[in-house]
Amino acid sequence: MIAFTDLRAQYQAQKTEIDAAIARVLDHGRFIMGPEVAQMEQALAAYTGSGHCIAVASGTEAMLISLMALGIGSGDEVIVPAFTFAATAEVVILVGATPVLVDIEADTCNIDTAQIESAITERTRAVMPVSLYGQLADMREISALAERHGLAVIEDGAQSFGADYQGRKSCAVSTLGCTSFFPSKPLGCYGDGGAIFTDDEGLALACREIRIHGQSARYHHSRIGLGGRMDTLQCAIVLAKLKRFEREIERRIEIGGRYNLLFSKRGVERVSQRHDRTSVFAQYTIFVDDRPAVQRALEAAGIPTAVHYPAPLNEQPAYRERCVHGPLPNSEEAARRVLSLPMHAYLEEDVQDGIVAAVAKAVAGP
């Protein structure tokens, strides 16, 4: 079976550095808030060009802490795309606010900027665009619109760390940018991890305090927080992997571009990328009509696939009653048609050729 995301190949390519980084942490024993935490924060702030980076327990915690730092809560509304991983809306509900779902663009699957303005009410406090599959939404337009209405923008960059948008990096183009180091993400650790990025010193301080139970000094709890730290071992692993990250991103972009070329020759529909930004292809995603049949044919050919995501949030049992929304035709259609294919920086050309041929055959049908 071909690997969907080849974490083993990635580890083998960087084994010496990763093993040494882990050994250093085992040796110094400062497993919580050890020196690698601040080292990783500095390295990632520099990488993205953000003023501040705050390491947290996961991508979900990054968004939850961001909302808490902004003081968003009961009675507030936050605009979220309907087609995303549940965590984006989950954190809005957890702070007591209401997610207002907006439709996506049919071709990129990112939030449709044109639909945001009409979703704004006097209760709206923030917009949370998701950089789905590794590509940012129209952040310049979204930021301009947010500024006009006095709203914060929180990028859910869980899938897009390393992507460029008009010469700037994902997570450094909004009030707060959040990412995830879940193992299969473009920059993954070996457990859970995440980070918040911001240029706002006050928000950075709030995020740091919320991360450690709202403490502004030891056992002095000046605000309500949570246990949201990222552990030292995971930070050490991200730091070690950062050395090869740019090279891996280049490979992902090459492989994604090659998929695009091969699929356009064969008439297979795929998620589009805009010219003023890169995708880091956290997922390489195509559109198919009879998805179960295509998945069955690919599985028989030893090719794993995944569906990100099988239902928009308005169709999820826990979210149906808790979100506000208008018509969402593009989100509903994407949920019926998207199919993600094997994608990682170590995917070889002959393997990719085999995947493309098998997909084209499966899409053509019997």
Ligand X SMILES: Cc1ncc(COP(=O)(O)O)c(C=O)c1O
Quick one: tokens of 3? 């690997």
Q: Segment near ligand X (CB under 6 A), from 85-93, 115-123, 145-153, 272-280?
A: 85-93
Residues 125-144 that bind ligand X (CB under 6 A): 130
Residue of closest CB approach to ligand X: 59
By CB under 6 A, is residue 159 in contact with ligand X?
A: yes
Q: Among 10, 50, 58, 115, which residue sits at the site for ligand X (rule: CB under 6 A)? A: 58
Query: Across the strands, what pairs with 221?
Result: 215
Q: Where are the beta strands (DSSP E) in 62-146?
A: 77-81, 98-102, 124-127
SS3 call for 159: coil
**In the complex, least distance from residue 77 CB atom to ligand X, rounded to whole angstroms:** 19
By CB under 6 A, is residue 82 in contact with ligand X?
A: no
Q: Which is nearer to ligand X, 79 or 268 (CB)?
A: 79
Q: Among 6, 41, 155, 156, which residue sits at the site for ligand X (rule: CB under 6 A)? A: 156
**Residue 308 neighbours by CB under 8 Å, 6+ apart:** 85, 133, 283, 285, 338, 340
Q: Among 5, 60, 135, 260, which residue sits at the site for ligand X (rule: CB under 6 A)? A: 60
Distance in angstroms (rounded) separating the CA atoms of residues 202 and 164: 26
Distance in angstroms (rounded) separating the CA atoms of residues 45 and 221: 27
Distance in angstroms (rounded) separating the CA atoms of residues 303 and 2: 6
The sign of the dihedral angle between the CA atoms of 160, 62, 313, 7 is positive
Residues 93-132 that bind ligand X (CB under 6 A): 130
Q: Among 99, 177, 188, 194, which residue sits at the site for ligand X (rule: CB under 6 A)? A: 194
Cβ atoms of 21 and 39 closer than 8 Å: no
By CB under 6 A, is residue 84 in contact with ligand X?
A: yes
**In the complex, least distance from residue 54 CB atom to ligand X, rounded to whole angstroms:** 14
Q: Which is nearer to ligand X, 162 or 194 (CB)?
A: 194
Residues of this chain that bind ligand X (CB under 6 A): 58-60, 84-85, 87-88, 130, 156, 158-159, 180, 182, 192, 194
